[in-house]
């Protein structure tokens, strides 16, 4: 009787030990994955900052004015050449 019980208990112990090993393994895998995604998130943050910076650099008023004046031959408008319309007036 005791012999049988011992066998059962041993089997349970081994099973539990194996499941622990498995759980541990899974946990580590998931953890590494989490870490990778976190790193990706950080990288995307950096890319976002870089793009914002590029936008600001390219959208600089100085640059726009240069391009408008030189490349596109534009001149600033003056009120003398502007037709003003008032909304709601007939």
Q: Which two tokens stand for residue 19?
A: 């499941």
Applying CB under 8 A, does 57 fall inside the site for other proteins?
yes
Give CA separation, 83 vs 17, 40, 68, 76, 80, in Å. Answer: 85, 53, 22, 15, 8
Answer yes or no whether residue 40 interacts with other proteins by CB under 8 A.
no
Tell me, what DSSP letter sits at residue 72?
S
Q: Is 41 in the site for other proteins (CB under 8 A)?
A: no
Helix or strand or coil: residue 51? helix
Residue from 3, 5, 84, 88 in contact with other proteins (CB under 8 A): 84
Q: Which chain residues interact with other proteins by CB under 8 A?
A: 27-28, 31-32, 35, 45-46, 49-50, 52-53, 55-57, 59-62, 65, 76-80, 82, 84, 86
């Amino acid at each position: 009787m005791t012999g049988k019980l011992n066998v059962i208990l041993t089997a349970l112990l081994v099973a539990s030990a194996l499941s622990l090993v498995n759980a541990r393994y899974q946990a580590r895998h998931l953890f590494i994955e989490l870490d990778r995604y976190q790193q990706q998130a950080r990288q995307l943050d950096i890319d976002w900052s870089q793009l914002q910076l590029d936008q600001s650099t390219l959208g600089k008023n100085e640059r726009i004015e240069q391009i408008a004046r030189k490349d596109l031959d534009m001149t600033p408008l003056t009120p003398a050449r502007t037709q003003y319309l008032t909304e709601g007036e007939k």
